[in-house]
């Protein structure tokens, strides 16, 4: 421990005093550590396939069938924007330890204890496949195919031997219940679509060369996207390449996307981003700036800015004769317009204006600073504003995202070089052909977040109350509870879903969900809740064809993966295990279509190779997959900046909103806000046509909970995991401590010092974690890296009345309460108390 006190100035004295002894300089070269016998090693290409947005190439070295070390892409001269290397982060570099982790699931296993106890016995693959086949048949016959759910799972982004193999067997069984949305972007996807674009359609970071102001609200690429060719690297290169760019970051944490790269950090209270945005809007409108500078833009490209805009929309819809537009007219209320709302005029006169003074007291950013930011936004020639996904994972994240999106449009400059629309930046990608899951006859889909509720009351869930989709009308229920769950590379069965303790209680009742299959490589907390465990091969044991994934930076790439070693223990690839199940179901031929692994890879590679999107790949894709596996990595960088809404603003192509324009007043939100049912007891459970800051349950202004739970708690993406993937790697646990961040003010008042163990609790549960006392978090706010593995210690009861989760999973504290529109996860809206353990 004493060495840890080094690197403090005080240490210098101590070591100076110990400079004694003789000079033992040596020219002896015969004293080197053991040389690694490099010659005997073999090398093959793999790829890290977790859900961080990138699938970085991994160079695997092995000897005698054992992996000896990990490297990454070092195949080029590494010129940024030309051929830069796709370097894996700490997680990819730890893959040797992860692959040989003692908690690998080594054989198919059947549950023997109570569900959730984690007691299993190994069984043969034959028995496992027969069990899946017979249960699928039984459950479909007894409850219908809608009762079989394939759960959200993002632990392995394979192209060929992916979870689509499970889709194939489930569809060959007559279909299954699908989900829509995801735990990352549920609210922002709906918010952006309602406004007129995709939540990842922002201008590319290369466009920043033309910008003079960068305003990031909850934007943190350096921690989110760590790949050495990822968005974090693009961000660094973009801002360092434009020294005249002013960078302002708004976040409750002083993130590593700052750490010296920013001009200004504005700490903000969680869930109050909309108040901050509205105060900037107030400055822009009340000063007359919008009227003088962007009114023409708003009139031409947007609807809902003011009363006149909505009155014109009604006229236009009436004149169109289009039945869909006519049906929307009753949902257009011109008095409910953005300008009046922001200024506190018209029907909003009683509310008052959304002034900087009003916002400062809520969001924590001082009034003068809000005014300064507003001045900068107005003065900027080319403002690039972006809102990160942390803003969306809140009780009413839909409204918060839309409120922030408005700022770009108020500038009237969207479509110009260097300007964005508020969405996450567009990125590059090469395209790989993937395994088909076959057609699914079941038309209903549920929000990904409502699956556990659907185990309890799926029968009665409807579109109007629960966001059910694919039903003929708002009130036709799903008609069945979920009776079987397939969790494939998914730790959302317990760990990544809200309210672990509540979810555990649902899953433990074996009369409710009758069959749970978990397919994974490691004994995750979710795996403990399986009835049947199917051991997957890890990436390093797999042949596959993958691309860069979905948010991997501007560099697009493909990796032709080749297994470095044979499948460990009794593990099988998903393609092979589902083939065994298909045989037991009697549908083996339909499953395989007569192809083996090599046949599929050859076919998928052929489709990938002929895809025009991959024509720019360097080196060009060779004739056969085997040749591609020898080369490993293929890349392409498109340096042309992509501009948000370019095809609409500069190309005249209508948007997909009902009006075809940017909808400040969202017609879809207006409609659903009127037609759907909300719970008046849930504060902030509301959909409004224009974006509005919401006082939500357990938000900063929720005085019902603030006395008992004085701290707001947010999760963040720790650098030592991707969600819950890699949690079981000791090297990473050592490199990146899991600790709850607390401001010195909050820590001192509780007698907590750096490294102390603390109990953190909400009404849903209690966790035990060390404290990181740091000024990098706002007072009144605590932050915890999400994804640590849920580990309730039943011998200890926490202040919440639940077993203390000594694993420190944030979802022991989060609430299951679907958001109003997306029915998404509000996992950053939490109030907690913290005390010394």
C-beta closer to another protein: residue 227 or 491: 227
Residue 727 interacts with another protein (CB under 8 A): yes or no: no
What does the DSSP 8-state code read for residue 608? H
C-beta closer to another protein: residue 225 or 802: 225
Which secondary-structure segment (H or E) carries 320? helix 307-320
Long-range contacts of 655-659 (CB under 8 A, 24+ apart): 655/196, 655/197, 656/193, 656/196, 657/194, 657/195, 657/196, 658/324, 658/325, 658/328, 659/303, 659/313, 659/316
* Sheet with strand 544-547: strands edge to edge: 544-547, 555-561, 633-637
Determine which residue in the list 40, 43, 100, 586 makes contact with another protein, applying CB under 8 A: 100
Determine which residue in the list 145, 524, 542, 743 makes contact with another protein, applying CB under 8 A: 743
Question: Nearest Cα to 116, choosing from 567, 557, 506?
Answer: 506
Total residues contacting another protein (rule CB under 8 A)?
A: 103
Site for another protein in 57-96 (CB under 8 A): 66-72, 74, 78, 87-90, 93-94, 96
* Sheet with strand 57-63: strands edge to edge: 42-47, 57-63, 66-72
Residue 588 interacts with another protein (CB under 8 A): yes or no: no
Which of these ranges, 13-21, 176-184, 327-335, 802-810, lies near another protein under the rule CB under 8 A?
Answer: 13-21
HEC profile for 188-243?
HHHHHHHHCCCCCCECCHHHHHHCCEEEEECCCHHHHCCCCCCHHHHHHHHHHCCC
C-beta closer to another protein: residue 2 or 681: 2
The CA-atom distances, in angstroms, between 67 and each of 63, 105, 816 are 6, 18, 42
C-beta closer to another protein: residue 776 or 802: 776
Site for another protein in 187-226 (CB under 8 A): 222-223, 226
CB environment 691-715: b (16+ within 10 A), e (fewer): bbbbbbbbbbbbeebbeebebbbbb
Least CB distance to another protein at residue 568 (A)? 6
Residue 626 interacts with another protein (CB under 8 A): yes or no: no
Q: Where are the alpha helices (DSSP H) in 458-494?
A: 463-466
Least CB distance to another protein at residue 386 (A)? 18
- Strand-pairing partners, residue 813, are none
C-beta closer to another protein: residue 495 or 718: 718
Q: Detail the DSSP E strand segments found in 603-717.
A: 633-637, 662-663, 711-716
Maximum Cα–Cα distance across the chain: 96
Residue 742 interacts with another protein (CB under 8 A): yes or no: no
Residue 723 interacts with another protein (CB under 8 A): yes or no: no
Cβ–Cβ under 8 Å, residues 813 and 761: yes
Least CB distance to another protein at residue 439 (A)? 41
Spatial separation of the C-alpha atoms in residues 215 and 284, rounded to whole Å = 16
> What is the C-alpha radius of gyration for the chain, rounded to an integer number of angstroms?
27
Binding mask 487-526 for another protein (x = CB under 8 A): ----------------------------------------
C-beta closer to another protein: residue 89 or 403: 89
Spatial separation of the C-alpha atoms in residues 718 and 786, rounded to whole Å = 7
Least CB distance to another protein at residue 233 (A)? 6
Question: Nearest Cα to 715, choosing from 495, 552, 404, 523?
Answer: 495
Question: Nearest Cα to 235, choosing from 249, 58, 184?
Answer: 249
Least CB distance to another protein at residue 561 (A)? 19
Question: Nearest Cα to 98, choosing from 807, 574, 727?
Answer: 727
What does the DSSP 8-state code read for residue 33? P
- 292: Cβ contacts below 8 Å, ≥ 6 apart: none
Least CB distance to another protein at residue 66 (A)? 6
Dihedral (CA of 395, 398, 403, 404) sign: positive
C-beta closer to another protein: residue 19 or 707: 19
C-beta closer to another protein: residue 689 or 834: 834
Determine which residue in the list 116, 155, 216, 228 makes contact with another protein, applying CB under 8 A: 228
What does the DSSP 8-state code read for residue 402? H
Residue 579 interacts with another protein (CB under 8 A): yes or no: no
Which of these ranges, 555-563, 631-639, 770-778, 799-807, lies near another protein under the rule CB under 8 A?
Answer: 770-778
Determine which residue in the list 778, 783, 803, 837 makes contact with another protein, applying CB under 8 A: 778
Which of these ranges, 183-191, 335-343, 464-472, 743-751, lies near another protein under the rule CB under 8 A?
Answer: 743-751
Least CB distance to another protein at residue 281 (A)? 18
How many CB atoms are located within 10 Å of the residue 626 CB? 14
Least CB distance to another protein at residue 773 (A)? 7
Least CB distance to another protein at residue 530 (A)? 22
Least CB distance to another protein at residue 86 (A)? 10
C-beta closer to another protein: residue 243 or 651: 243
C-beta closer to another protein: residue 140 or 363: 363
Residue 227 interacts with another protein (CB under 8 A): yes or no: yes
Residue 16 interacts with another protein (CB under 8 A): yes or no: yes
Residue 703 interacts with another protein (CB under 8 A): yes or no: no
C-beta closer to another protein: residue 61 or 676: 61
Site for another protein in 32-51 (CB under 8 A): 32-36, 38
C-beta closer to another protein: residue 533 or 773: 773
Site for another protein in 374-413 (CB under 8 A): none
Residue 567 interacts with another protein (CB under 8 A): yes or no: no
Least CB distance to another protein at residue 33 (A)? 6
Spatial separation of the C-alpha atoms in residues 755 and 765, rounded to whole Å = 22
C-beta closer to another protein: residue 261 or 469: 261
Q: Detail the DSSP E strand segments found in 571-650.
A: 633-637
Site for another protein in 244-303 (CB under 8 A): 254, 256-261, 265, 267
Which of these ranges, 30-38, 442-450, 525-533, 707-715, lies near another protein under the rule CB under 8 A?
Answer: 30-38
3-state secondary structure of 620: coil
Determine which residue in the list 11, 505, 590, 613 makes contact with another protein, applying CB under 8 A: 11
Cβ–Cβ under 8 Å, residues 403 and 183: no
**Cα 206 vs. chain centroid, distance in angstroms?**
23
Least CB distance to another protein at residue 282 (A)? 16
Least CB distance to another protein at residue 546 (A)? 19
Site for another protein in 322-381 (CB under 8 A): 357, 360-361, 363-367
Determine which residue in the list 27, 244, 640, 795 makes contact with another protein, applying CB under 8 A: 27
Q: Detail the DSSP E strand segments found in 521-569.
A: 532-535, 544-547, 555-561
Please give the structure tokens belonging to residue 367: 């009034």
């Amino acid at each position: 421990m004493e060495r840890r006190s080094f690197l403090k100035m005080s240490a210098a004295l101590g070591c100076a005093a110990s400079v004694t002894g003789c000079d033992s300089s040596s020219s002896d070269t015969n004293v080197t550590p053991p040389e690694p016998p490099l010659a005997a090693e073999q090398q093959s290409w793999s790829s890290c396939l977790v859900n961080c947005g990138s699938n970085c190439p991994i160079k695997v070295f092995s000897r005698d069938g054992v992996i000896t070390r990990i490297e990454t892409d070092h195949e080029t001269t590494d010129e940024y924007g030309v051929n830069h290397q796709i370097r894996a982060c700490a997680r990819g570099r730890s893959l040797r330890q992860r692959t040989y982790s003692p908690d690998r699931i080594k054989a198919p296993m059947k549950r023997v204890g109570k569900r959730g106890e984690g007691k299993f016995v190994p069984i043969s693959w034959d028995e496992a496949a027969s069990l899946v086949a017979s249960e699928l048949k039984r459950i479909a016959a007894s409850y219908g195919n809608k009762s079989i759910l394939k759960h959200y799972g993002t632990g392995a982004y394979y192209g060929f031997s992916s979870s689509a193999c499970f889709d194939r067997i489930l569809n060959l069984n007559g279909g299954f219940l699908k989900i829509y949305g995801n735990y990352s972007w549920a609210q922002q996807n709906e918010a952006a679509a309602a406004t007129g674009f995709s939540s990842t359609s922002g201008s590319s970071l290369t466009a920043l060369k033309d910008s003079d102001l960068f305003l990031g609200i909850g934007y943190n690429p350096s921690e989110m996207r760590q790949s050495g060719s990822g968005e974090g690297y693009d961000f660094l290169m973009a801002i360092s390449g434009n020294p005249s760019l002013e960078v302002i970051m708004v976040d409750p944490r002083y993130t590593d996307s700052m750490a010296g790269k920013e001009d200004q950090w504005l700490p903000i209270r969680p869930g109050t981003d909309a108040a901050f945005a509205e105060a900037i809007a107030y400055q822009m409108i009340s000063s007359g700036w919008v009227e003088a500078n962007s009114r023409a833009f708003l009139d031409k490209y947007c609807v809902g800015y003011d009363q006149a805009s909505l009155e014109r929309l009604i006229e236009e819809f009436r004149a169109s004769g289009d039945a869909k537009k006519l049906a929307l007219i009753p949902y257009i209320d011109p008095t409910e317009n953005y300008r009046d709302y922001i200024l506190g005029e018209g029907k909003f006169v009683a509310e008052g204006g959304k002034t900087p003074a009003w916002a400062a007291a809520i969001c924590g950013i001082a009034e003068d600073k809000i005014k300064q930011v507003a001045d900068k936004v107005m003065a900027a020639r080319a403002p690039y504003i972006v809102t990160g996904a942390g803003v969306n994972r809140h009780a009413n994240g839909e409204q918060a995202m839309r409120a922030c999106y408005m700022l770009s449009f108020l500038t009237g400059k969207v479509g110009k070089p260097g300007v964005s629309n508020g969405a996450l930046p567009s990125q590059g990608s090469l395209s790989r052909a993937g395994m088909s899951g076959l057609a699914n006859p079941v038309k209903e889909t549920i929000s990904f977040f409502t699956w556990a509720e659907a185990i309890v009351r799926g029968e009665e869930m409807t579109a109007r109350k629960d966001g059910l989709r694919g039903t003929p009308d708002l009130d036709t229920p799903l008609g069945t509870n979920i009776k079987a769950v397939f969790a494939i590379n998914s730790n959302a069965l317990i760990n990544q879903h809200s309210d672990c303790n509540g979810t555990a209680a649902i899953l433990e009742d074996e009369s409710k969900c009758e069959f749970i299959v978990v397919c994974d490589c490691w004994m995750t907390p979710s795996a403990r809740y399986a009835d049947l465990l199917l051991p997957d091969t890890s990436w390093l044991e797999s042949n596959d064809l993958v691309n860069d994934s979905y948010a991997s930076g501007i560099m697009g790439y493909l990796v032709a993966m080749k297994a470095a070693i044979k499948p460990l223990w009794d593990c099988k690839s998903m393609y092979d295990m589902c083939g065994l199940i298909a045989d037991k179901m009697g549908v083996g031929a339909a499953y395989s279509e007569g192809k083996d692994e090599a046949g599929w890879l050859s076919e998928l590679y052929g489709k990938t190779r002929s895809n025009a999107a991959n024509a720019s790949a360097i080196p060009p894709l060779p004739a056969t997959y085997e040749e591609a596996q020898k080369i490993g990595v293929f890349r392409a960088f498109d340096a042309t900046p992509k501009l948000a809404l370019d095809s609409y603003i500069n190309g005249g192509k209508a948007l997909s909103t009902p009006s075809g324009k940017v909808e400040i007043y969202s017609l879809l939100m207006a409609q659903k806000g009127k037609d759907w049912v909300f719970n008046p007891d849930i504060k902030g459970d509301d959909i409004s046509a224009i974006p509005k800051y919401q006082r939500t349950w357990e938000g900063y202004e929720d005085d019902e909970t603030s006395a008992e739970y004085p701290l707001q708690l947010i999760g963040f993406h720790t650098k030592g995991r991707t969600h819950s993937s890699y949690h079981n790697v000791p090297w990473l646990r050592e490199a990146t401590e899991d600790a709850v961040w607390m401001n010195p003010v909050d820590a001192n008042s509780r007698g907590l010092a750096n490294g102390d163990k603390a109990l953190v609790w909400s009404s849903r549960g209690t966790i035990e974690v060390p404290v990181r006392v740091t000024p990098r978090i706002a007072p009144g706010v605590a932050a915890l890296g999400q994804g640590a593995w849920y580990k309730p210690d039943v011998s200890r009861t926490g202040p919440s009345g639940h077993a203390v989760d000594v694993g420190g999973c944030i979802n022991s504290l989060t609430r299951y309460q679907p958001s109003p529109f997306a029915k998404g996860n509000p996992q950053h809206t939490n109030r907690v108390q913290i005390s010394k353990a």
